[in-house]
Every structure is written in C-alpha cells, then in structure tokens.
Amino acid sequence: MVSRVHKRTAVYRSIQQLRSITNSHARRKTSVILDASKYIRGLKQKLQELNQLAVAATQKDIEYGPMPMLKVEQQEEGYLIKVLSQRSCQGLLAFILEAFERLGLVVLQARASCVESFCLEAFGIKESNEDTRLVDTQVVEQVVSKAINDWRKVTKQC
C-alpha cells in the first residue's frame, strides 16, 4: 500500500516537472507526455540547425582561399592581430611586421607558423612617443590588409 502511494507521488512529481519544463498547460498525463514529446522534437530540430550553422562557420574559417584571413581585435591596452592562410606564405611575415612599424605598434607577444600554412597571432601596443594619435581597429586592419595586398603583388600570389 505504501509502495503504491510512493509510486503515485513520484509519477505526479515527474509529470509536474515535465509540465514546467515544457510549459505545458495540459491536465491529463498523456497530454503532458505528448507535449513533452513535441518539445523534445523541437529541441532536436534546433540542435540540428545549430550543428549545421557550426559546421558552416567552421568551414568558413577553414576555407581562407587564396587571400589570407585577417582579424583585428582591440584589447585593453593594445590590439590582437590574427592572420591565417591555408598555405605557406613566404615573406608575408616581413610585410606584416613592417605594417606594425608604420602604425607605431610594438609587438609584445607573437606566435607565428609558416611551415604548411601561415598563422600569425600578435599582440601589439602603440609606442609611447610624441605621436599620441589614437589608432583604432579599422586603421590597424586597413594597414595590415594593405601589407597583405602588397605582399600578394610582389610575390604574384592570387
């Protein structure tokens, strides 16, 4: 007898939890379970769409094409510059470092790889000298992008 009461109470609590999770207003157990089933199908569909978006975003990041991908982020004190390419870009690093010099950026920390693909992550800050102009993210991006284009012209890469 006590076992039956415990089972009913447990089922009642479970139905109440399902009702609250799925925002169901159904009164009968079967209706609540059907609502939960619809809710789960909707979640599965959303998850599938998110996975497709994630795969598309990953492919977009990987497929840099012939032009190296450039991303500039402003940090608290400086700029984080990322340049990525699927292939090795011989000589590109020198062009980018010259662009940093033109901007008056001092590279505090950098990681670069040029073996099978080109990857550069550099953190730079504005030099503190008499030229106190503020350099914004767009200017940094334009100057580094111009350096990449100059490199492409010199090396005759697409």
Residue boundaries of the structural domains of the chain: 1-61, 69-155
Tell me which of 109 and 76 has the higher pLDDT. 109
Contact by Cβ (8 Å): 106, 77:
no
Architecture of domain 1-61: Irregular (4.10)
Which two tokens mark 52?
């497709």
Class (C level, CATH) for 69-155? alpha beta
- 22-73: pLDDT as tens digits: 888 888 989 999 999 998 998 898 888 878 777 766 655 444 456 788 888 8
Contact by Cβ (8 Å): 23, 36:
no
Write the DSSP symbol of residue 65. Answer: -
- The yes-or-no answer to whether 1-61 and 69-155 have a common fold is no
Could you give the 3-state DSSP secondary structure of residue 110? strand
Q: Is the pTM of this model over 0.85?
A: no
